[in-house]
Chains A and B, each alone.
Chain A
Amino acid sequence: KAGVTQTPRYLIKTRGQQVTLSCSPISGHRSVSWYQQTPGQGLQFLFEYFSETQRNKGNFPGRFSGRQFSNSRSEMNVSTLELGDSALYLCASSERPAGSGANVLTFGAGSRLTVL
C-alpha cells in the first residue's frame, strides 16, 4: 500500500497570503487528521475529518480550515498567514476515527511552511 502523501513538501509564503496543503491518505482509510509541529511545542492537533465530516477541531483560530473529499483526500487552508504559522504541517490517516480505541495513525512526511 502507498503511504500517506502530502504535497507540497516545502513552500515559502509571505505574511497575509493564504496557503492550501493537500493530503492523500492510505487507500481505504477514511479518517484524516492534521497536526502542526513547531520547535518546542510538539504536535498540536488542528482537526480531524472522517467520511467528509469534521469530527474534532483543535484550539486554532478560524484562519485554519480544512475539508475532506469523497475519495478521502483532504486539504487544509490557512488564510492571512502570520510569521508564527511557520511550521511543519503533518497529515495522518487511519481506518477508523482517530480517538476510537486501539487505532494507529499513519503519518505523512509533512509540508514545511515558511512564512516571511
Chain B
Amino acid sequence: DQQVKQNSPSLSVQEGRISILNCDYTNSMFDYFLWYKKYPAEGPTFLISISSIKDKNEDGRFTVFLNKSAKHLSLHIVPSQPGDSAVYFCAASASGGGADGLTFGKGTHLIIQP
C-alpha cells in the first residue's frame, strides 16, 4: 500500500517556464511534508518543506502548496532552469506516530529542455 504517490514518473518542461510536480498521500496522520531533489550518483538533498498547519511555503524559485482536504501537495519551480533537471521525491512524516520515519514517493524525473 503506497501511502505517498507521485503519479508522473517523468515531466518535461521548457527552460524559463513553470514546473509543477504533484504528490498525493493517503495517510491522514501525515503532518509534515518535504521535497527532495536527487542527481544521479548522489544522495537526495533537501529542497523545501511544509507543515500541515500551512497551505503554502515559498523559498526563492520554489513554492510548495498543500491541500489537506484533497491530501495533495505540489511543488512549483519558477522559472525552471537547466540545473533543475533531476529526480524529485515527495516525502511525508507523522509526528504522532503511525508511520515509519519519512515515507517517500517513487519520484518524478524532471527534464528541463533548453
Within 8 A of A (CB), among B68-114: 89, 91, 93-95, 97, 99-107
Chain B residues with Cβ below 8 Å from A58 are 100
* Complexed CA–CA distance, A105 and B32 (Å): 12
Within 8 A of A (CB), among B14-40: 31-32, 34, 36
Chain B residues with Cβ below 8 Å from A42 are 6, 89, 104-107
Nearest Cβ on chain B to A1's Cβ, whole angstroms: 14
Chain A residues with Cβ below 8 Å from B106 are 40-42
Q: Mask for A56-100, Cβ within 8 A of B = 1, else 0?
A: 111000000000000000000000000000000010100001111
The total of chain B residues at the interface (CB under 8 A) is 29
* Complexed CA–CA distance, A98 and B46 (Å): 14
Q: Mask for B44-84, Cβ within 8 A of A = 1, else 0?
A: 11100101000000000000000000000000000000000
Which of A33, A56, A57, A103 has the most chain B CB within a 10 Å cutoff?
Answer: A103
Tell me if A45 and B32 are in contact (CB < 8 A). no
* Complexed CA–CA distance, A15 and B53 (Å): 48
Partner of B101, one of A6, A98, A107: A98
* Complexed CA–CA distance, A101 and B93 (Å): 7
* Complexed CA–CA distance, A58 and B94 (Å): 15
Nearest Cβ on chain B to A35's Cβ, whole angstroms: 7
Q: Is A43 an interface residue (CB 8 A)?
A: yes
Chain A residues with Cβ below 8 Å from B91 are 43
Which of B41, B101, B105 has the most chain A CB within a 10 Å cutoff?
Answer: B101
Tell me if B41 and A99 are in contact (CB < 8 A). no
- Beyond A33-B101, A35-B104, whether A109 also contacts B89 by CB under 8 A is no
Name 24 interchain pairs, CB-CB below 8 A, sorted by A.
A6-B43, A33-B102, A42-B6, A42-B107, A43-B89, A45-B100, A45-B104, A56-B100, A56-B101, A92-B102, A97-B101, A99-B97, A99-B99, A99-B101, A100-B93, A101-B31, A101-B93, A104-B49, A105-B101, A105-B102, A106-B46, A107-B36, A107-B44, A110-B42
| A residues with CB within 8 A of B | 4, 6, 33, 35, 40-45, 48, 56-58, 90, 92, 97-110
